[in-house]
Structure 1
Amino acid sequence: MSLSFSKIKVLHVASEMHPIVKKGGLGDVIGSLPKAQRELGVDSRVLLPLYPNVSNNIKEKLKKISRKLYIPLEWRVFPASLWRTDIQGVPVYLLDIEDVPFPAEIYPNLLNMDLIKPFFLLSLAAIEFEKASRWRPQILHLHDWPTSSVAIALKWHMYYSSLSGLYDTVLTIHNLAHQGIMQETDLISWGIPKEVHNIEGLEYYGMTNLLKGGIIASDAVTTVSPRYSWEIQTKEYGMGLDGVLKQYSNKLRGILNGIDYSYWNPKTDPFIPAHYDVEDIAPKRKCREELLSRCGWSEDGSPILIYVGRLAEQKGIDLILLSIEPIVGHGCKMIILGEGSEIYERTLKKASLQFPTNLFVKIGYDEELAHLMYAGGDMLIMPSYFEPCGLAQLIAMRYGTVPICRATGGLADTVIDADTACDGTGFLFSSYSSEAFLHAIGRALGAWNSTKLWNQIVQNCMRADFSWSRSSREYVNLYLELLGVPEHEDNVKPNFNA
């Protein structure tokens, strides 16, 4: 039996996609993975919520599909419209449900049936999708708890379970810390029978856990790095679902995220003042000068440490706070860009006032500044408590900025310690402590003081390949496995009208 890549039809059902809407790494993945799959010949498309004002972020034309979807829920039918656009060649559909707006903040802080309801409707719309689009996927690829209800409905819903034979489902866990937990346990008005609320179903310590249900109900479960797929089967990192993940480990695998090298490319990046590559790194110095100027600093030859990301406990911000004074004491400059916990934001701003010539803090997200930091920085710090994959270290390496990371999850999968290997790309530490973090920074500074060694590490970073080409093929091979087709290497020209 043979099935060319061009015959595989995949619908990614997600809550984010860069550049339309992005809150974290999930948005980057959905902005890149379907595009990479289409380059392999797979007919890969995306279904997203139409959030309030999100159309302002779409430069391409939005076209309303004339046929409507009708989604049954709570003893009534909700009419919904699909809007279509194309993002970098990827067909993207945005769901607009009458009388049920999606939350402007994307993810509500507290979850209950009313707040989860739009995402449950999105999940049912994925199953109904063919009726409006006139295109039926074979694979429904789900991402995190907001769309895990697709698999739940296909397994347990009083009506949609009868359609389970039409689709194979893949659930990707981007961050196990977010599980879609709510107090309500009676989902009969959503078409989920009461008997499903048990330990083998949606029940979770007397509550309902949608991600747990998705793990049980999906045909395959993936995480965004191999190591993270092992870590989440332990009590330390399993977030209460380690037992479930162990039970279903036969369908669990880790596939490393990539980054879009057409976007994150120091040779063509429109956000940076000088372009460079591994063959000519010298222009990176101009980026450094511009970064220093942006912070109100002059050049003094100090190493520049950068942090780009959420200000959250997961990211090891407490270790960064404990280490600011010693880092500054070593003569380093630090630049931090991110937003998150109010207490972290407040403490960092206070520290920046204490060390104005060595610490610059920008609360929020600034795309242009982020690119300039990756290009102008010398070292990236990522002392994460846990990290499913991590994208910042992949981007930093692409720009010749050396990562200093805790050896966890995707960080351990992607960074090679430069003190233990000639092809090293960064500096790793294991213990979650400020002492271990500072020791790794000290090792990095030792390498920094050797121009020849440092240049070799920078070149190793820039030569590392974390493009989506390999990872997207791993996903395609998983699809083929679910469809009952042996792995093969043919890469047929796309035929998306088939």
Structure 2
Amino acid sequence: MTLKVLAVASELYPLVKTGGLADVAGALPLALSAHGVAVRTLMPAYPAVRAAVKPGARALLKIADLFGGPARLLPLKLGELELIVLDAPHLFDRPGGPYSGPTGEDHPDNWRRFAALAEVAARIGLGALKGWRPDIVHAHDWQAALAPVYLAFSGERRPKTVLTIHNLAFQGAFARAVFPGLGLPDTAWSLEGVEYYDAVGFLKGGLHAADALTTVSPTYAKEILTPRDGMGLDGLLNGRREALHGIVNGIDTDVWNPASDPAIAERYDGASLDRRVSNKRALEAEFNLAPGDGPILGIVSRLTWQKGLDLVAQACEALVAKGLRLVVVGSGERSIEGAFHAAHARHPRAIGVRIGYEEMLSHRLQAGADAILVPSRFEPCGLTQLCALRYGCVPVVSRVGGLADTVIDANFAATRARVATGIIFEPGEAGLSDALDRLVALYREPEAWQAMQARGLATDVSWTASAGQYAALYRDLLQK
């Protein structure tokens, strides 16, 4: 029997992307189809999404008043993806990103915008679409976390619910004053509902209400049970330990494939690693780096404290002194952006910086850099290191979350056993310095380095195994 799942996400690649959530929302449904799971994904009709809908598309559902204005549900077929688009212009048709305006400030009505998304998800879960009712509603992150809450407080026979935590640091906390506008019963203002330290907690409410909770890696599932990484929710999560599952992310290996990638200078695979050097030369030229045979270290990331990029900015002098060149792609905290700009000014032929994010540039960096650096202080999963493995770009990562779950450290035993795929280090300044020394030393052993690249290319970073775990979880819920 085919299982019907409604996924609910605030972004989805290739339509709208600010981070890894979009990649997961775009790739997981496709992988689930091989396990007898049919997914339709509900997402907001931001301008870029609305533009992808066919002119004259017939509405699946019309809503006269959704949190202050009319709304429609429109169908959108994106390759093999089946989308349901929430067309509510008063909520989503505005300039800027999905969560903030052109100046970078959060939209002040984000609580209303994403409550509407969740409330519509609950309607669909209760049978609002003629001829289609999901067995499971799968909500992603705080933006969709009220969907299990609306369903739990509906008083009706409801589908089972799953909530995936992509990053516990982002919780969707809003002032108590917004509660009456959510349309929830008064009983939802409680510890078992959305009340959280006299405020409204979207994620907190979903963590209470969902039938199953997942995180995006097994190690992160353990870390968030501790006061250090639980972000104030470790008590609640420990109380729901039996419902919590760690399932590591994958990537779309058709999109991320060096053998067919149209974005890179020369295509290659595990049997033609020698061709990879053309991509290195192209990356040098694109960032005006001095050509050379020494290693290029890449970073493609949000430039934030969480990602540990302040430590890298401080280490630029030592990094160059070790003979490394650096390419940085990303945006984030102004102080970190400024520090990298200053480092580039001091070493224009050794350090390249591009503030912003371009999807195809990310592909070129993975294909051209020798190693990718992910020095996060905490990391639920991380997709960058998975893409790096796929491209034979050696990941150099801190020992946290999904980074620890997906990279095999090149220690003495792993190197002897020929299973190492990267370098893992303890988070912090000392660990980073040691990792850079190890990187330089390993790179000076071409045979061992190329073997590690080849093992990365051969690593299964697809969704195949993880999608099977999600499908098993769905079916287990339906038996309860």
TM range (shorter): over 0.9
Structure 2 counterpart of 1:12, from 1, 7, 29: 7
Structure 1 Cα separation of the partners of residues 271 and 454 of structure 2 = 9
TM-score w.r.t. structure 1 length?
0.90
Is contact 2:290-2:350 (8 Å) kept? Answer: no
Is contact 1:397-1:403 (8 Å) kept? Answer: yes
Structure 2 counterpart of 1:21, from 9, 16, 19: 16
Structure 2 Cα separation of the partners of residues 360 and 20 of structure 1 = 28
Structure 1 counterpart of 2:476, from 450, 473, 481: 481
String of CA shifts for 1:92-117, please: whole Å, max 9, x gaps.
11111254335642124777983311
Map 1:315-330 → 2, pairs under 5 A: 315-330=307-322
1:123 lines up with 2:118 in the alignment: yes
Shift of 1:456: 1.3
Structure 1 Cα separation of the partners of residues 261 and 140 of structure 2 = 29
Map 1:234-249 → 2, pairs under 5 A: 234-249=226-241
1:69 lines up with 2:66 in the alignment: no
Q: What amino acid is aligned across from residue 117 of structure 2 in structure 1?
A: L
Is contact 2:172-2:203 (8 Å) kept? Answer: yes
Structure 1 Cα separation of the partners of residues 64 and 212 of structure 2 = 26
In percent, how many aligned pairs have the same letter? 38
Structure 2 Cα separation of the partners of residues 124 and 277 of structure 1 = 46
2:248 counterpart residue number = 256
1:138 lines up with 2:138 in the alignment: no
Structure 2 Cα separation of the partners of residues 317 and 428 of structure 1 = 16
Shift of 1:70: 2.4
Structure 2 counterpart of 1:82, from 62, 73, 79: 73
Is contact 2:122-2:148 (8 Å) kept? Answer: no
1:37 lines up with 2:29 in the alignment: no
Is contact 2:50-2:87 (8 Å) kept? Answer: no
Gap change, CA 1:51 and 1:351, over 3 Å in 2: same
2:452 counterpart residue number = 457
Higher mean C-alpha deviation, range 104-113 or range 119-128: 104-113
Gap change, CA 1:55 and 1:68, over 3 Å in 2: closer
Is contact 1:73-1:189 (8 Å) kept? Answer: no
Structure 1 Cα separation of the partners of residues 60 and 20 of structure 2 = 33
Structure 2 Cα separation of the partners of residues 356 and 189 of structure 1 = 53
Structure 1 Cα separation of the partners of residues 213 and 244 of structure 2 = 5
2:42 counterpart residue number = 47
Structure 2 counterpart of 1:428, from 424, 431, 441: 424
1:211 counterpart residue number = 203
Gap change, CA 1:189 and 1:448, over 3 Å in 2: closer
Q: What amino acid is aligned across from residue 81 of structure 1 in structure 2?
A: R
Is contact 2:112-2:182 (8 Å) kept? Answer: no
Structure 2 Cα separation of the partners of residues 63 and 37 of structure 1 = 30
Q: What amino acid is aligned across from residue 146 of structure 1 in structure 2?
A: Q
Q: SS of the counterpart of 2:109? A: helix
2:266 counterpart residue number = 274
Q: What amino acid is aligned across from residue 440 of structure 2 in structure 1?
A: L
Shift of 1:185: 4.9
Structure 1 Cα separation of the partners of residues 56 and 115 of structure 2 = 24
Q: What amino acid is aligned across from residue 59 of structure 2 in structure 1?
A: S
Structure 1 Cα separation of the partners of residues 461 and 90 of structure 2 = 43
Q: SS of the counterpart of 1:100? A: helix
Structure 1 Cα separation of the partners of residues 425 and 458 of structure 2 = 23
Q: SS of the counterpart of 1:208? A: strand
Structure 2 Cα separation of the partners of residues 337 and 225 of structure 1 = 25
Structure 2 Cα separation of the partners of residues 196 and 112 of structure 1 = 25
Structure 2 Cα separation of the partners of residues 189 and 404 of structure 1 = 47
Is contact 1:64-1:81 (8 Å) kept? Answer: no
Is contact 2:16-2:48 (8 Å) kept? Answer: no
Q: SS of the counterpart of 1:141? A: strand
Structure 1 Cα separation of the partners of residues 356 and 114 of structure 2 = 26
Q: SS of the counterpart of 2:357? A: coil
Structure 2 Cα separation of the partners of residues 188 and 210 of structure 1 = 14
Structure 2 Cα separation of the partners of residues 238 and 318 of structure 1 = 23
Structure 2 counterpart of 1:155, from 147, 152, 168: 152
By relative contact order (CA 8 Å, sep 6+), the higher-ranking structure is 1
String of CA shifts for 1:145-185, please: whole Å, max 9, x gaps.
111111111123xxxx123x231110000010100001125
String of CA shifts for 1:238-257, please: whole Å, max 9, x gaps.
11101110011110010000
Consecutive unaligned residues of structure 2, counting only runs of 5 or more, are none
Structure 2 Cα separation of the partners of residues 212 and 268 of structure 1 = 42
Structure 2 Cα separation of the partners of residues 264 and 438 of structure 1 = 30
Q: What amino acid is aligned across from residue 402 of structure 2 in structure 1?
A: G
Is contact 1:142-1:170 (8 Å) kept? Answer: yes
Q: What amino acid is aligned across from residue 143 of structure 1 in structure 2?
A: H
Map 1:262-341 → 2, pairs under 5 A: 262-341=254-333
TM-score w.r.t. structure 2 length?
0.93
Structure 2 Cα separation of the partners of residues 63 and 90 of structure 1 = 20
Consecutive unaligned residues of structure 1, counting only runs of 5 or more, are 486-498
Is contact 1:49-1:102 (8 Å) kept? Answer: no
Gap change, CA 1:49 and 1:125, over 3 Å in 2: same
Higher mean C-alpha deviation, range 349-358 or range 121-130: 121-130
Structure 2 Cα separation of the partners of residues 110 and 392 of structure 1 = 26
Map 1:97-116 → 2, pairs under 5 A: 97=88, 99-101=90-92, 104-108=96-100, 114-116=109-111
Structure 1 Cα separation of the partners of residues 437 and 58 of structure 2 = 58
Gap change, CA 1:127 and 1:102, over 3 Å in 2: farther
Q: What amino acid is aligned across from residue 451 of structure 1 in structure 2?
A: P
Structure 2 counterpart of 1:352, from 344, 350, 357: 344
Structure 2 Cα separation of the partners of residues 401 and 469 of structure 1 = 22
Q: SS of the counterpart of 1:278? A: coil
Structure 1 Cα separation of the partners of residues 227 and 150 of structure 2 = 29
1:407 counterpart residue number = 399
Q: SS of the counterpart of 2:145? A: helix
Structure 1 Cα separation of the partners of residues 173 and 448 of structure 2 = 49
Higher mean C-alpha deviation, range 174-183 or range 116-125: 116-125
